[in-house]
A and B are shown apart, each in its own frame.
Chain A
Amino acid sequence: MKLRRDPFQAIADPTRRAILILLASHTMTAGAIASHFDVARPTISKHIQVLSACELIEPSRQGREIFYELKVESLQEIDMWIEQCRKIWEARFSQLDTLLSTMNENAK
């Protein structure tokens, strides 16, 4: 299966979200990440691959080991979308507030 470079697909999975939370504190090797989960190591590797393909995390070689790092700016992009979406509803509702208060006044 071709891995899709879609951060929203990446964060739709609870294990992958947990991995992101782990990496938020510090960089980790795949082995260290896997040690936090009760699932098979290859499963975790697959999740790490998805997260890398979506550029939510980034591998970096340090000596003989590969450490994974959270790419904060990618997460911010997701955050920003949700924030924009929220703002639209906020703006829409604030207009409704104005309309309702005018209607309430007129009813008096």
Chain B
Amino acid sequence: MNPKLQFDFIVDNKTNSITVKREFAAKRQLVWDCHTKSELLDQWFAPKPLITKTASMDFREGGHWHYVMVDPEGTEYWARMDYKTITPIDSYSALDGFSNSKGELNPQLPRATWDAMFTDLKAHTLVQTIVKYNSEADLQTVLQMGMKEGLTSTLERLDELLLILR
């Protein structure tokens, strides 16, 4: 889209985190809605060719978003985002995780905390998302899941990485 929109992407091995900063050409309330309402999240959260479908959304502290990403072959990647703190239209924090279609977490895979901050940038909005893993080992598990896909086709790699990022 607009190449002038700020975009920073930083992987920090020391803090086991990925920091993504992105500017959006819209008011903060609108950008906030897109991040917190399932009918809007469904329209952008999974990059093409995957699509997002919400099973349930309870956007409140202690609530969670249970959703699935579906690839063109119909393979489903279920995930759950547990909301910890919410300060409308400023910030929210959450704990992500892989789950099954019933919303039960997969304890074998690492979870990451998400800290999202929304600030005004003149008429635009800046969103900073920090995705932080509990330990270096967790970040490595996730990174290695990506590494293994290194030699497969780009599409397959995208699917897999997507799974990782959630």
Give the B-binding residues of A (Cβ under 8 A). 6-9, 11-12, 77, 80-82, 84-101, 103-104
From A8, A87, A91, A103, B143 is in contact (CB under 8 Å) with A8
A11-B13 in contact given A84-B157, A95-B43, A99-B44 (Cβ < 8 Å): yes
- Which segment of B4-12, B71-79, B87-95, B110-118 sits at the interface? B4-12
Indicate if B22 sits at the interface (CB-CB under 8 A).
yes
In chain B, residues 1-38, which have Cβ atoms closer than 8 Å to a Cβ of chain A? 1-2, 5, 7, 9, 11, 13-14, 18, 20, 22, 24-26, 30-31, 34
- Enumerate chain A residues within 8 angstroms of B2, measured Cβ to Cβ: 97
A101 vs B54: C-alpha distance in the bound complex, in angstroms?
23
Q: Could you tell me if B157 and A92 are in contact, using CB atoms closer than 8 angstroms?
A: no
Interface residues on B, range: 35 or more
Contact of B43 among A11, A80, A99 (CB under 8 A): A99
Given contacts A84-B158, A92-B45, A101 and B25 within 8 Å (CB-CB): yes
Interface residues of B (CB under 8 A from A): 1-2, 5, 7, 9, 11, 13-14, 18, 20, 22, 24-26, 30-31, 34, 40, 43-48, 136, 139-140, 143-144, 146-147, 150, 157-158, 161-162, 165
**In the complex the two chains form, is A81's CB within 8 Å of B26's CB?**
no
Tell me the bound Cα distance from A101 to B5 in angstroms. Answer: 13
Complex CA gap A14/B61 in Å reads: 38
Evaluate contact between A8 and B25: CB separation under 8 angstroms: no
B33 to chain A, nearest CB (A): 8
Complex partner residue of A85 from B1, B11, B22, B48, CB under 8 angstroms: B11
Task: Tell me the complex Cα distance, A81–B157, Å.
Answer: 9
With a cutoff of 8 Å between Cβ atoms, the chain A residues found around residue B140 in the complex are 6, 8-9
B46 touches A81 (CB 8 A): no
Bound Cα distance A100, B35 (Å): 11
Q: Is the beta-carbon distance between B9 and A86 smaller than 8 angstroms? A: yes
- A residues in contact with B147, CB < 8 Å: 7-8, 77, 81
> How far in angstroms is the closest Cβ of chain A from B4?
12
Contact check: which of A8, A88, A101, A104 meets B47 at CB < 8 Å?
A88
- Pick the 8 closest A-B CB pairs, nearest first: A91-B47, A95-B44, A97-B1, A12-B13, A100-B26, A96-B44, A86-B9, A81-B146
Residue of A nearest to B139 (CB): A8
Kindly provide the distance from the CB of A73 to the nearest chain B CB, expressed in whole angstroms. Answer: 11
**Contact A77-B150, Cβ < 8 Å, known A6-B140, A92-B47, A95-B44:** yes
Q: Which residue of A lies closest to B125 (CB)?
A: A100
